[in-house]
Amino acid sequence: MTLAETALAGTGVTTRSDVHANLTAPGLYDHALRRGEGRLSADGAFMAVTGVHTGRSVQDKFVVDDPEVHDAVWWGKINQPMAPEKFRGLSEKVRAWLGARPVLFTQDLYAGADPAHRIRVRLVTTNAWHALFARNMFIRPAREELAGFTPDFTILHAPEYEADPATDGCRTGTCIALSFAAKTILIAGTSYAGEIKKSIFTVMNWLLPAQGVLPMHCSANQGKAGDTALFFGLSGTGKTTLSSDPERSLIGDDEHGWSDRGVFNFEGGCYAKVIKLSQEAEPQIWAASHRFGAVLENVVADAFGTLDLDDNRLTENTRSCYPLDFIPNTVPGGQGKLPKNVVMLTADAFGVLPPISKLTPAQAMYHFLSGYTARVAGTEKGLGKEPQATFSTCFGAPFLPRHPEVYGKMLAERIARDGADCWLVNTGWTGGAYGTGKRMSIQHTRALLRAALDGSLAKVEFVKDPFFGLMMPKSVPGIPAEVLNPRDSWADKAAYDATAKKLVGLFEANFESFAGAVDEEVKAVAIRAAA
């Protein structure tokens, strides 16, 4: 076979054009700059602008409704069905379009640090910078492993191709379609690179439960004694910040699996949100974003390439993508021991959840299925003055191809089997809701987390919260008592009670869809407002 045929083997793409396979960062930089795909920052990072799509196109994501997967897929707004014949037709068009481009770039990569549970991924794309993004984001095989590389899943990435809703079974010219049967992902009509990353996360969320591995949207780190901690949380809750602890080593910042042997990272890189990033608060992410090899999406810079990380004129969702080894103090190989602690983070803008509380296994499953945080004005367009509760089941609903109960039951089983302590941590507001109270002290949060992770917090006396049934520490050295019990931090106790009851009701309404799929112990956790 020719080099091009080898690089495209298994993808269905044929071409007489140039194909550049598995180029490293310098080669991809060379092509990207010569082709006008972006420019350099003053520190040598590659800067790309993604146009109209500056985030994931959630309404344009489809799963192919193949007979062999129909009964297991969680169909709905998250996983919209696409007819197999529509997918086949669109696949043929995308392959033909890619084959007609003057140049293609391919990358052969792994997803999954544990060789027993990893998959081989082949990306075919028209842009060098997207190839660099994938190379940063996934795990790069050793050169000798590339010989005879056969992909388990193929990503056909056609960012400039516009699908036809009238004939292709999609909503707009943008389409992200995943076929588990064909082991193929089509990405068309969007240059936002996060679609590449999250499409493979969706694949891992499909494959791993059948292998007895729990896939998780979480960060993970490891203490000096080798103890592993997991951090679940939606955007803005502090997942990346709190897992990046100088006293602990980072396993990964976003996607992991929990197997019988331990925890492993799915990725070989980080995809950090960098709007308003400061060198003082996040020195590791800041440094990684100011060097050759990093890819910056929709970040603004002046004519000299000096970054302005506070500038949101293109989007609030500015991103930096870099290899994991750009971060000091990481765990070699991306694998850790079985978790000793599971932390669920929420930024409660209603100001009624404790800064930390210990969860029973049933409560952990309840809060995992709930996936709660709250958004406030300024974080998203269209939000009013009042906080808005947000529930994203398993802290990652957009990436779950199976029913949430599958992942919830697996989490409960692993917590019980491995004896992990579970914690709910509120990084949101205290002393009142957003607009009245103040943001939880990061120093207090770090101190409470360190006490939880070193085992000392589990030994203190706890008291039950009357609204949510959460066990709050009664006293912790160095932490004011009124901080530990949120009701004590409110000047207006009646207002606290009313707000807590309101949030209880929101939790209950959200959990109704899961009530028929969980056991009685978890149903009993379904919190009730105090009389």
Catalytically active residues, by annotation: 56, 198, 217, 235, 239-240, 254, 319
User: How do 153-158 and 119-125 pair as beta strands?
Assistant: parallel
Give DSSP secondary structure letters for 341-389.
Answer: EEEEEE--TTS-S-SEEEE-HHHHHHHHHH-EEEE-BTTBTT--SS-EE
Cα–Cα distance measured from residue 25 to residue 44, given in angstroms and rounded to the nearest whole number: 12
Cα–Cα distance measured from residue 311 to residue 288, given in angstroms and rounded to the nearest whole number: 19
Cα–Cα distance measured from residue 428 to residue 66, given in angstroms and rounded to the nearest whole number: 43
Cα–Cα distance measured from residue 464 to residue 154, given in angstroms and rounded to the nearest whole number: 51
**Quick one: 27 exposed, middle or buried, by C-beta within 10 A (0-12, 13-18, 19+)?**
middle
Nearest to 199 by CA among 267, 261, 246: 267
| Token pair for 452 | 């939880």
Strand order in the sheet with 46-48: 39-40, 46-48, 295-297, 319-323, 269-273
Contact 309, 294 (CB under 8 A): no
All residues at 6 or more sequence positions from 277 whose CB lies less than 8 Å from its CB, including other chains: 285, 286, 289, 309
Nearest to 125 by CA among 109, 147, 107: 107
All residues at 6 or more sequence positions from 246 whose CB lies less than 8 Å from its CB, including other chains: 329
Amino acid 180 reads F
Q: How many CB atoms lie within 10 A of CB 166?
A: 7
Q: How many CB atoms lie within 10 A of CB 529?
A: 17
**Three-state SS annotation for 420-473:** CEEEEEECCEECCCCCCCEECCHHHHHHHHHHHHCCCHHHCCEEECCCCCCEEE
| Token pair for 135 | 């190379």
Nearest to 396 by CA among 237, 212, 190, 221: 237
Sign, CA torsion 64/65/69/75: positive
N-terminal to C-terminal alpha carbon distance within the chain: 75
Q: How many CB atoms lie within 10 A of CB 293?
A: 21
